[in-house]
Structure formats: C-alpha cells, structure tokens
Amino acid sequence: MDRRQVLTLAGATLVLPFGKIAVAADNPTLGVVVKIGGIPWFNAMEQGIKEESAKAGVDGSMIGPTSADPALQVRAIEDLIAKNVKVIGVVPNDEKALEPVLEKAMKAGIKVIAHEGPGIKNKDWDFELASATGFGEAHAKLLAEKCGGKGKYAVFVGSLTVPLHNAWADAAIAYLKANHPDMQPIGDRYGVAESADDSRKTALDILSAHPDLVGFLAFGSQGPIGAGRAVEERKLIGKVFVLGPFSPGQGRKLIKEGALTGGFMWNPAEAGRVFVRVAKLLAEGKEIKDGDTIEGLGTVHPDTATRNIITDNLVAINADTVDKLADMGL
C-alpha cells in the first residue's frame, strides 16, 4: 500500500459517513458533460435531462463547455469528481483525451455513461440511439421506396475524412447494392455536405450531367439542404428525391415544398432522458442485461465486451414531424 492509496482510504473514511448521509437524504446525483453548451442540439438534451430527473427523482444537470474543446470537458469532469457525484455522463469531443480523467472517476467509484462515443474506454456503458448501419440503411430504404427501386443516385458526405458520414454512406450503398440492383451510385462520393452552398452547386452540376438522376443521399447536415435547393431550382420536385439527416428548423420550408424528401435523426431530448434512466439503474446498483427493456432505448442487447448498448431509435423527419421537431429548436 503506497502513500497515495493510504491517503485515498483515509479520505474515503472521512468522506464516507457524510456521503452516506447525503445519499440517504438526497437523490442520486448525475452530471452530464456535453460537447458544447448553448447550441440547439444540446439545449434539447438539457431539457430532456431536467424533465426526466424531476420525474425519476434524480439530481441531474448538464454542463456545456463554451467551446468544443476536449480540455474543457476534462476540467468539467474533474469538477464533477471533486463534487463526488454518483454518475457522470459524457458526450465526448475526443474519446482519447477523456480516458485518463474517466479512469480517475471510475477509481473514485463514480459510474460513467457515454453517448455518441462507442469507442471510448473507461465507461460503465455507452448508449447509442442510432447504429451506423441502421442509420445508413434507413435512408437507403426510404430512397428505394420513393424512386421505385431503380435509377441513378449521388452520394454526398460532410467531408471525405468524416468517419461517421462515410460509415453511413457505406451502409446505404451496400444496402442498395444488395437489395435494389437497379439502383446505381454515380461515381465517387462528393465531400461537400458541410456547406449548403457547395452542396447546391455540386447538385446543380450533377443534375446537368445526369438528366436521369433520381436521388441524392446526403450525409452531413448541410448536404440535404443544398441538394434540396438545387432540385427546387430545376423544378424537379417529385422527380428527384433528396434524403439525408438535417436540422428540422433549417429544412422546414424545403420539406413542405417537397424539394427535400426526408431523413432521419435521433432525438437529443430522448438521449437526455436515457442518460437519467441509465444513471438511475446504475446508481441503484442494477446491472443491465440482454433483453432488458429501457424506456427510450427499447429492448437492449448490451455488448459486454465493448460495454456498448447500440439501438436504432430513429426519428423520421418528414412533412408531418418537421414542425414538432423544429419547435424544439432543432
């Protein structure tokens, strides 16, 4: 036993009695550190955390750093450890950068839940509301359904170096290849979907070069918007379908006109609620087993090797749902 462990033990014996009193009197505490504060996505998540905390009897709160900086997340988690919360939730900016501080948290007996970070180490569980395959396939299925299972389509990704977008695109292309052999992608994927303007210009060029094009699969938040505008400009609504994930507030007008066909997303408010539900289970010392049902995730199949719970709880964005989603500020 070295000096550090002695000190930790001594500290623990000092803190424990008070800690126990505090837990007995209060609800379990949960602190969720997200990528960045103040943006609509995480505002919605905070809403979810607050609502569900009040309902479930958890003392839950969200911490949003001022910029998407891993160092700020590390500091926020250090603060939570110092406050001796029961559960720490995290939506990591950089999985690697958080490993040491999360290890410290777990050593201090704090439970760790991650979201949108399946590769992160030192966690009790990571939960996902969308799998890369499920997300890509959902868009591909909808495209095939809209265009009757045949024709040429173009694929946009945010950048050729964004792993997630490319994983979605891979899954979508593989699905269409396997199930709808009459649908062919044109050429390589275009890395323009992080700019509405670039997406629009590229889509106009592609429409000129391929008059028989039937669809755009655009992964990257600005891609569907830009491609939708191009389709609207060329008055091809109903002939060319544009699918992809996008911000409902931004795409509201386009989707109602039909220039944007639709897409899928996951609900950040629901992710916030799931944080609280999983935190409560862990705080009560319950284990999550295969076949358990957790509200918001459905029946789960936790992977005990990677400590990931991956589910497909996609929310469709279409003319009927867009208003509700946009009103949440998304």
Question: Which residues are near another protein by CB under 8 A?
Answer: 38-40, 160, 186-192, 195-197, 200-202, 204-206, 208-209, 211, 225-226, 229, 233-235, 247, 249-250, 252-253
Q: How far is the CB of 104 from another protein (least distance, A)?
A: 30
Exposed / middle / buried, residue 11 (Cβ in 10 Å: 0-12, 13-18, 19+): exposed
Q: How far is the CB of 254 from another protein (least distance, A)?
A: 9
Q: Which two tokens stand for residue 170?
A: 């891979």
DSSP string, 231-257: HHHTT-BTTBEEE----HHHHHHHHHH
Nearest to 179 by CA among 210, 150, 219: 150
Q: How far is the CB of 176 from another protein (least distance, A)?
A: 19
Nearer to another protein, 147 or 206 (CB): 206
With vertex at residue 20, the alpha carbon angle to CA 18 and CA 25, rounded to the nearest 5 degrees, is 95
Nearer to another protein, 300 or 325 (CB): 325
CA R_g for the chain? 22
Q: How far is the CB of 194 from another protein (least distance, A)?
A: 10
Nearer to another protein, 4 or 235 (CB): 235
d(CA 208, CA 230): 11
CB atoms within 10 A of CB 311: 20
Q: How far is the CB of 190 from another protein (least distance, A)?
A: 5
d(CA 89, CA 78): 13
Nearer to another protein, 28 or 268 (CB): 268
Nearer to another protein, 37 or 134 (CB): 37
Q: How far is the CB of 187 from another protein (least distance, A)?
A: 5
Q: How far is the CB of 256 from another protein (least distance, A)?
A: 13
Nearer to another protein, 131 or 199 (CB): 199
- In this structure, the strands spanning 315-317 and 263-265 are antiparallel
Nearer to another protein, 172 or 330 (CB): 330
* CA distances to 96, 127, 303 from 74, in Å: 11, 20, 26
d(CA 159, CA 189): 9
